[in-house]
Chains A and B, each alone.
With several copies, the nearest count.
Chain A
Amino acid sequence: MTRELTEDPALVRLVEAMLFASAEPLAERDLADRLPPGADIPALLTRLEREYAPRGVQLMRAGSGWSFVTAADLAPMLGRERRIEKKLSRAAIETLAVIAYHQPVTRGEIEEIRGVQLSKGTLDALFEYGWIEPRGRRETPGRPATWMTTDAFLRHFGLATTRELPNLDELRAAGLLDARPAIRVLQPDGGGAEEIPPAAEPLDPDGA
């Protein structure tokens, strides 16, 4: 008796539609509720499973429930690639520039040079883009890692080597170093910013 019920194409269609439309995987007893008594549910499921095996959709069993899922091997093709263009943050590109000009350079040195602390993600982001990498360590207490730019960095910025980066004079010639009006009197030596000791206590013009 199960023989002809199993072969009944109407029942196969019904099971197929039920599994398709259901929001949840269906257990065999869920199917039994809506099939004529005596329907050989395991046989119907096996048949469907076999019919769908070569297709882009498969009948899959997860625990006690059955559901259709897209074939796993298609996942890479199904995935839509979405390109998001992102601009580097000001801090990131400046840090990248400092690394490019001062490499190899430690995190602490970058902070010293830039005069501000590096925020958490800045180096991580540059590393993730493949533009910098840690290479070697500074032989100072704590042996901090030193950072350098990568070949990917050179490719991205169209440089053959980091020596192609314009030097200070060239930057100045390009107008990239035009000094803003600065209060000269406060910087009597005019240079060696790196060696500047910690900032003095600011003046207290408001007084007590």
Chain B
Amino acid sequence: MSAVPLRAVAEDDGVADDLAADSLRSDAFVVDVDGWEGPLDLLLTLARAQKVDLRRISIVALADQYLAYVAAARRASLELAAEYLVMAAWLAELKSRLLLPEPPAPDEPSSDAMAAALAFQLRRMDAMREAGKGLMVRPQFGRDFWARGRPEAIPERISVVVKADLGSLLQAYGRHLRRRRGEAPLALSEPVKLDSIEAALSRILQSLGQAPGWESLARYLPEGTLAGVREGSLAACSSLAATFGAVLELARQGIIVLRQNQPFGPIYLKPVSGEGERP
């Protein structure tokens, strides 16, 4: 939380006069333009202005100074951060207890304990402030001492260890042999006349629509094709494939429609213009 409002107080002439009247004016107020880092920081600055050992600080006087400071800030209608006001309330209570000693309620700390706690916190805060300064006056890397300006690349000898074992070698060879069998180029021991899609197309178109309605695809296969396929005849296989391809092409062109009632079932076709019963 920022102490900016307090800085405004310190810099405002009218308020500064108030502060002077409250005998609060010290070098710290004028010099410290950074503002305070919270109420403890302000308290510490005020305590330091008392110019006594922090262990012998007058808590009452300190409370007065702080309260006067806060009052001045409020008179100047400056918004104080909540923590400054909380501290003010606490100090006001501490001061009244210190001035009018009465036995504290059983569940409350004594005024002495409260004062001691505050004094401890101020001293601890002071110690940290000084410790920070102590760090900053040390020689600093890059400001007071430097590393080697020409670091040398440490050579790395990279040795590649190739991982392979007999198993992977044999698997690779097995893979190779399998592929030779599976994906061997098409070998034709004797010239074979293969059917083509073009031939199948003209064949189908010639006889298409001679019979009305749905017809089996098989009707358009050259004679003996199915038997040939069963025997593994390459020519028959090509006829079957070519006819099927041609039929798909005709369907794509919207010349015929196709039908298959179940997977692997017979395929039927009929011309689009034709009428007929469903098979």
Contacts and interface: CB of A to CB of B under 8 A. Distances in A.
Interface of A: 18, 20-25, 67-72, 74-75, 78-91, 93-94, 96-98, 100-101, 113-117, 119, 129, 155-159, 165-168, 171, 174-180, 182-189, 193, 196-200, 202-203, 205-208
A116 B1 contact: yes
Interface of B: 1-2, 34, 37-41, 80, 82-83, 85-90, 109, 114, 117-118, 120-121, 123-125, 127-136, 138-166, 168-189, 194, 196-198, 201, 232, 234, 237-238, 241-242, 245, 249
B165 to A, nearest CB: 7
A159 B140 CA distance: 10
B210 to A, nearest CB: 24
B149 A94 contact: no
A24 B39 CA distance: 42
A160 to B, nearest CB: 12
B264 to A, nearest CB: 18
Contact of B176 (A22, A94, A185, A199): A94
Q: Which of A96, A117, A175, A186 has the most CB of B within 10 A?
A: A186
A78 B154 contact: yes
Contacts of B169: 93, 96-97, 100, 157
Contact of B89 (A93, A157, A166, A205): A205
B80 A22 contact: no
A24 B83 CA distance: 44
Nearest to A22: B149
B241 A97 contact: no
Given A94-B173, A116-B39, A166-B138, A180 B178 contact: yes
A124 to B, nearest CB: 13
A207 B198 contact: yes
Contacts of B187: 186-189, 196-197
A3 to B, nearest CB: 29
By CB atoms of chain A within 10 A, which of B39, B128, B172, B177 has the most? Answer: B128
Nearest to B119: A183
Contacts of A180: 117, 120, 124, 178, 181-182
A166 B82 contact: no
> Interface on chain B toward A: helix, strand, loop, or mixed SS?
helix
B14 to A, nearest CB: 23
B104 to A, nearest CB: 13
B135 A100 contact: yes
Given A23-B147, A100-B135, A176 B184 contact: no
Given A81-B157, A157-B165, A180-B178, 20 more contacts: A18-B154, A20-B146, A21-B148, A21-B151, A21-B152, A74-B145, A78-B155, A80-B154, A90-B37, A94-B37, A96-B164, A100-B173, A113-B125, A114-B41, A115-B87, A116-B1, A119-B1, A184-B114, A184-B117, A200-B188
Nearest to B170: A176
B16 to A, nearest CB: 22
A207 B196 contact: yes
Nearest to B246: A207
A114 B134 CA distance: 17
B100 to A, nearest CB: 16
B172 A199 contact: no
Contacts of A168: 177
Given A70-B152, A203-B85, A182 B163 contact: no
Contacts of A68: 147-148, 150
Nearest to B165: A157
Contacts of B125: 113-115
